[in-house]
Amino acid sequence: WSYTLEKPNTGSIYNIAWSIDGTQLAGACGNGHVIFAHVVEQRWEWKSFEITLIKRRTMEVHNVINDAVDLLEFRDRVIKASLNYGHLVVSTSLQCYVFSVKNWNTPLIFDLKEGTVSLILQAERHFLLVDGGGLYLYSYEGRFISSPKYPGMRTDILNAQTVSLSNDTLAVKDKADEKVIYIFEALSGKPLGDGKPLTHKTEIVEIALDQKGLTSERKIAFIDKNRDLYITSVKRFGKEQKIVKIGTMVQTLAWNDTSNILCGIQDTRFTVWYYPNTVYVDKDLLPKTLYENEASEFSKNPQIVHFIGNLITIRRADGSLIHLNISPYPAILHEYVSSSKWEDAVRLCRFAKDQTLWTCLAAMAVANKEMATAEIAYASIGKIDKVQYINSIKDLPSKESRMAHMLLFSGNTQEAETLLLQTGLIYQAIQVNINLYNWDRALELAVKHKTHVDTVLAYRQKFLEDFGRKETNKRFLQYAEGLEVDWNKIKAKIEMEIAKERERAAASPAVRA
């Protein structure tokens, strides 16, 4: 779209060139003069503040609540600025200024190594400056934090779609191999976890880190070349983390600044994922945690500018801005859950009478192992089978068994089995595999630990009899040779195992608590 039209009185302009920082323009004129132009009237908005660059070295701050106006004067011309999280960060050709929205009179000022800052990104605790020399993280007090580096780093092509910053993590998309995302610890600048970058199967177009919650639960969302939206955890210690697809034909995305709510424009629909972590807890619930709205008013190729509180700002292809409001309840629910105020969360859902909210609460409760709340939430959305399973988990004798069955509830079979084996609950690990019809694994565990081989064979025999089938598995035929199944004996053995687990749980009250 056209920002402005100028008709200078200089004859035809034969050639133009931008300065490297993109703030000045020079033109060769037909009358032999050289014309210089500067970009002004850039605008930044955050909550009740509107900031406009009115001259090369002057900004006007307008607070729309009380109509107060402040003028900010700079020694050199303004090159880049960013307004977010209660701070305005301005880079000039020589210095960086950090203003707090509470006080415009006393900015914090420090000198820059290079004057050509090409990108400023902000998080709640710190901000990132990108210039020709590298990536630099600073606190809002002006303290240098770190300078992450990676092989083949080219800072001139980095932009807000290919770099993302949160309170503890920095993610950068590689240019040489566009399937790779480098993830760094913000405070040290070192690669996160085992040092390996995150690799996807196709080229990645846009990345975004969530802003809230624990470092261990930090998630990254990204859109690939096929316009599919994926989410995965940034913590990767050898174990291959699941990269899960949560959307298709997604053009643009943004995380909320105060809670882990994700929004995006998906094909012809504007979509908000109120709790994207649902895919790791109970993926059947994910479609019910979404808010969707018609997006035809945004025309072609809209971009989400920011998602602050419950207000989303979208820029259409013609440059106009559209503001959308979403329900404030999901953000309040996130706040209650992060503070472990489960009773308040249930009260909020009862007040709102919204199935989407109940579904989010069910997933949040399971993720936080809060089974009493999960039971109430699942009952409210009519998932009676899940309520019954949660009740059966609550009746298990030991903490380890309960933990393992919660992992099973979320579909993490391997982790559940590992937990049971590590805590010496061999029979329970075998029984889990029997219940899931993983017969080979159940027999393998029984043989390896020299226990309950007859139990596995008995359940296998009963399973085949129920379906009128004959045994064809060679391993089962080998161990079943000459073995008489006595169900009374097997039941007695199972009861002994459960009694042993109860005794063990009673003997270690600290662990049980």
Top-confidence residue, 251 or 499: 251
Neighbours of 447 (CB within 10 A): 14
Mean pLDDT confidence for 399-421? 84
On whether the CB atoms of residues 190 and 184 are closer than 8 A, the answer is: yes
> Is residue 510 predicted with pLDDT exceeding 50?
no
> Mean pLDDT over residues 26-39, rounded?
93
pLDDT tops 70 at residue 237: no
Give the range among 303-317, 322-336, 393-407 with minimum mean pLDDT.
393-407
CA 332 to chain centre: 18
- 252 and 303 in contact (C-beta within 8 Å)? yes
- Number of DSSP helices (H) and strands (E) in the chain, helices first: 14, 30
What pTM was estimated for this model as a whole?
0.87
pLDDT tens-digit readout, 491-502: 888 788 778 777
- On the question of pLDDT at 299 being above 90, the answer is no
CB atoms within 10 A of CB 149: 13
With H, G, I as helix, E, B as strand and everything else as coil, classify residue 499: helix
Whether 238 shows a pLDDT value over 70: the answer reads no
Mean pLDDT of 24-43: 92
Task: Please state the rounded mean pLDDT for residues 158-164.
Answer: 94
Quote the mean pLDDT of the chain: 89
